[in-house]
Amino acid sequence: MSDETEFLPKLILPLKAEYFNAIKAGTKTTEYRRHTFYWAKRLDDREYSGIVLTLGYPKASDTERRIERPWRGFTMQTITHPHFGPDPVHVYAIDVSPQGGDTP
């Protein structure tokens, strides 16, 4: 880790079990967050030292319910997904792949 990233915060993304387990298994490489003011404030023009994906809201010592990945940024996409309803929505597509470069 470079000196610059040592002082950056980590992005913490609490997940439902379905998505956490898929990321852990390597079958899900992108995590989506709807393009809202809440997420724009946390993602636009921001850098992080890494991402912490959690199964719900575990204690910091509960390593079984935490996955750490390097911060590789995000792309903006328009998707249709049952979690967001029947209509297409704009989302932040955050790269959570183990090696990077796997974001569709």
| Domain extent at residue 51 | 3-95
Would 104 be classed as within a structural domain?
no
Count structural domains, the chain: 1
Is the entire prediction scored with pTM above 0.75? Answer: yes
Would 86 be classed as within a structural domain?
yes
Domain with 54 in it: what CATH number? Answer: 2.30.130
Show the DSSP H helices in the chain as ranges: 3-6, 17-25, 37-43
**Would the pLDDT of 103 be above 50?**
no
**What proportion of the chain, given as a percentage, has pLDDT over 90?**
85
Would 102 be classed as within a structural domain?
no
Q: What pLDDT shows up at residue 102?
A: 46
Per-chain mean pLDDT for the chain: 91
Higher pLDDT: 83 or 73? It is 73
Which residues lie below 8 Å from residue 4, measured CB to CB, with a gap of 6+? none
Would 101 be classed as within a structural domain?
no
Would 34 be classed as within a structural domain?
yes
Q: What pLDDT shows up at residue 11?
A: 97
